[in-house]
């Protein structure tokens, strides 16, 4: 009989021991070398494998940074979150008390409290399908969520989104230009808004100037829009100018340095824009959603960089997305992407996204969901990454409602991130839906098929045939 002494231990994980793995070595962020994550993993080990004693303390993730630094300085290691292999989850340590998530629901209105409308920023918005779905789903759960801002590079998609959501501030520009604009906008607001001790003052009217204009001189009637750089323009703040005595067709974009003689017009625009909340500032966004394009990992790309995918400019939007999250600090983050971010280069980009969120002190959870499991006549697996501030409740994934015809597979390293029921559960699922279920109710074709139906039929079938 083996008389070796054993002990049962509960494990802590360093960042590099988790799913983050080698992504922690990316230069744009770091992890505290003293930070570890508590897990539920337990096993028996020989007593003689103990090397030394270390002091590990629990730190509240919402603690003041200065107080936290003093506390951590007196210990070997600290933990402020737990780590679970299932769904690669980094989450708050469960407590006996349940705190408010900070987002109001219909239950608040029933108790007499006003229901706050949560704000959403849709990045890489396209026509707004993801944000629209989130808002509709949130309404079913009793949460008022509204898309306040949207950003996309495609002008046609922006026009479509604006048509369907006229109250949304839609910006047709690069995401990195949008981030640069947010930082410049903060400077303008500090200069023209926050520098006043009182509330935002009413715009100061410029005095009438009756002096005759010289040749090639024009008068600024009003500033209409603001942007950072853009096509054919150098980097920097530009204003769209309405000229006095000229129609809209003569409006032009001018760099801010060309408007040095119009400080009152700039002040008027900034104060009005601040009141209308045309651009979000840190702490003003409740939810950021979006799917940053990563063409650099596409299987059709024969020149993919497997050693360091982030060196490929086609994958830089993943970094930009996380930079915007880092700047705005929203309460919740939801990122959607193709499964290749977990397949290509050992899931480098997926691990990077998780690593960035955790380094920003966000709770995080990564799952793969199949559209067919929720009543769509196609398989279509996608990755969804949730992030939530420590003051919030980290959302869970909805479990499948339908059976599905399996197509393809998930990466083995992330097999526990597939959203599904436990093996011990035997749920009753609705039958899998196929293409026939989607188009079987279309009018039957015959030799005398009405020509009026043909354009409609083509419009319906074309997206399905092009997939």
Per-residue pLDDT of 311-349, as tens digits, reads: 999 999 999 999 999 999 999 999 999 999 999 999 999
Rounded Cα distance, 65 and 139, in Å: 36
Q: Is 171 helix (H, G, I), strand (E, B) or coil?
A: strand
Rounded Cα distance, 190 and 183, in Å: 11
Please report the pLDDT score of residue 94 as a whole number: 80
Rounded Cα distance, 108 and 111, in Å: 5
Please report the pLDDT score of residue 109 as a whole number: 43
State the pLDDT confidence band at 459, using cuts at 50, 70 and 90: low
Per-residue pLDDT of 69-90, as tens digits, reads: 999 999 999 999 999 999 999 9
Per-residue pLDDT of 22-73, as tens digits, reads: 665 677 899 999 999 999 999 999 999 999 999 999 999 999 999 999 999 9
Contact 117, 145 (CB under 8 A): yes
Measure Cα distances from 349 to 60, 195, 292 in Å: 29, 41, 11
Task: Using the predicted structure, report yes or no on whether residue 388 has a pLDDT greater than 80.
Answer: yes
> Where exactly are the structural domains of the chain?
6-91, 185-207+218-276
The domain at 185-207+218-276 falls in which architecture? Beta Barrel (2.40)
Which residues, in sequence order, are bridge partners of residue 338? Answer: 382
Annotated catalytic residue 262: no
Place of tokens 């505290």: 32
Q: Is 170 helix (H, G, I), strand (E, B) or coil?
A: strand
Rounded Cα distance, 79 and 59, in Å: 6
Residue 222: alpha-carbon gap to chain centroid: 34
Q: Indicate the burial class of 185 (C-beta count within 10 angstroms; 0-12, 13-18, 19 or more).
A: buried
Please report the pLDDT score of residue 465 as a whole number: 55
Per-residue pLDDT of 227-237, as tens digits, reads: 999 888 899 99
Going by C-alpha positions, the residue among 264, 259, 245, 266 that lies closest to residue 206 is: 264
Rounded Cα distance, 123 and 323, in Å: 12
Q: Identify the active-site residue in 9, 294, 373, 466.
A: 294
Tokens representing 334?
Answer: 């939801």
Task: Between 226 and 455, name the one with better pLDDT.
Answer: 226
Please report the pLDDT score of residue 244 as a whole number: 92
Structural element, H or E, at residue 175: helix 175-189
Rounded Cα distance, 216 and 196, in Å: 36
| Secondary-structure class of domain 6-91 per CATH | mainly beta
Per-residue pLDDT of 235-281, as tens digits, reads: 999 999 999 999 999 999 999 999 999 999 999 999 999 999 999 99
Please report the pLDDT score of residue 464 as a whole number: 55
Task: Find the mean pLDDT for residues 115-144.
Answer: 94
Beta-strand relationship, 118-123 and 169-172? unpaired
- Residue 189: CB partners within 8 Å, gap ≥ 6? 270, 274, 281
Please tell me the least confidently modeled range out of 168-182, 212-226, 357-371.
212-226
Please report the pLDDT score of residue 418 as a whole number: 95
Per-residue pLDDT of 100-117, as tens digits, reads: 555 644 444 455 455 579
Give Dmax over CA atoms of the chain in angstroms.
Answer: 107
Q: How many residues in total does the chain contain?
A: 467
Please report the pLDDT score of residue 24 as a whole number: 57
Going by C-alpha positions, the residue among 373, 401, 386 that lies closest to residue 335 is: 386
Please report the pLDDT score of residue 96 as a whole number: 57
Domains 6-91 and 185-207+218-276 share a fold: no
Task: Find the mean pLDDT for residues 96-100.
Answer: 51
Rounded Cα distance, 339 and 366, in Å: 11
């Amino acid at each position: 009989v083996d008389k070796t002494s054993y002990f049962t231990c509960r494990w802590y994980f360093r960042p590099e021991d988790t799913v983050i793995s080698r992504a922690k070595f990316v230069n744009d962020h770091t992890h505290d070398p003293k930070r570890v994550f508590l897990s539920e993993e337990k096993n028996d080990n020989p007593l003689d494998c103990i090397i030394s004693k270390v002091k590990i303390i629990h730190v509240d993730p919402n603690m003041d940074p200065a107080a936290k630094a003093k506390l951590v300085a007196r210990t070997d290691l600290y933990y402020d979150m737990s780590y679970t292999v299932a769904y690669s989850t980094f989450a708050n340590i469960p407590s006996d008390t349940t705190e408010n998530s900070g987002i109001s629901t219909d239950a608040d209105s029933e108790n007499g409290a006003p229901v706050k409308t949560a704000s959403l920023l849709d990045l890489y918005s396209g026509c707004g399908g993801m944000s629209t779905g989130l808002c509709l789903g949130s309404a079913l759960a009793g949460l008022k969520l509204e898309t306040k801002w949207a950003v996309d590079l495609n002008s046609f998609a922006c026009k479509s989104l604006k048509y369907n959501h006229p109250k949304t501030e839609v910006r047709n520009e690069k995401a990195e230009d949008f981030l640069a604009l947010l930082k410049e906008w903060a400077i303008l607001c500090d200069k023209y808004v926050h520098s006043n001790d009182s509330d935002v003052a009413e715009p100061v009217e410029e005095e009438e100037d009756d002096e005759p204009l010289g040749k090639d001189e024009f008068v600024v009637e009003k500033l209409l829009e603001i942007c950072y750089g853009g096509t054919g323009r150098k980097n920097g703040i530009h204003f769209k100018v309405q000229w006095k005595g000229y129609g809209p067709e003569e409006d032009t974009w001018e760099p801010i340095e060309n408007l040095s003689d119009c400080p009152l017009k700039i002040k008027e625009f900034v104060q009005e824009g601040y009141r209308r909340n045309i651009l979000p500032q840190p702490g003003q966004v409740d939810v950021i959603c979006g799917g940053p394009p990563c063409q650099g990992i596409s299987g059709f790309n024969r020149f993919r960089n497997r050693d360091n995918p982030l060196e490929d400019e086609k994958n830089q939007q993943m970094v930009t997305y996380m930079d915007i999250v880092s700047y705005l600090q929203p309460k919740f983050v939801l990122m959607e992407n193709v499964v290749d971010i977990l397949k290509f280069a050992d899931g480098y980009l997926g691990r990077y996204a998780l690593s960035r969120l955790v380094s920003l002190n966000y709770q995080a959870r990564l799952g793969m969901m199949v559209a067919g499991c929720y009543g769509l006549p196609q398989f279509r697996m996608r990755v969804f990454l949730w992030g939530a501030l420590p003051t919030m409740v980290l959302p869970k994934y909805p479990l499948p409602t339908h059976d599905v015809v399996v197509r393809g597979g998930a990466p083995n390293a992330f097999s526990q991130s597939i959203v599904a029921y436990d093996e011990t559960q035997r749920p009753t699922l609705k039958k899998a839906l196929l293409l026939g279920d989607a188009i079987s109710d279309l009018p039957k074709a015959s030799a005398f098929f009405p020509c009026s139906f043909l354009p409609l039929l083509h419009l319906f079938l074309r997206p399905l045939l092009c997939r």
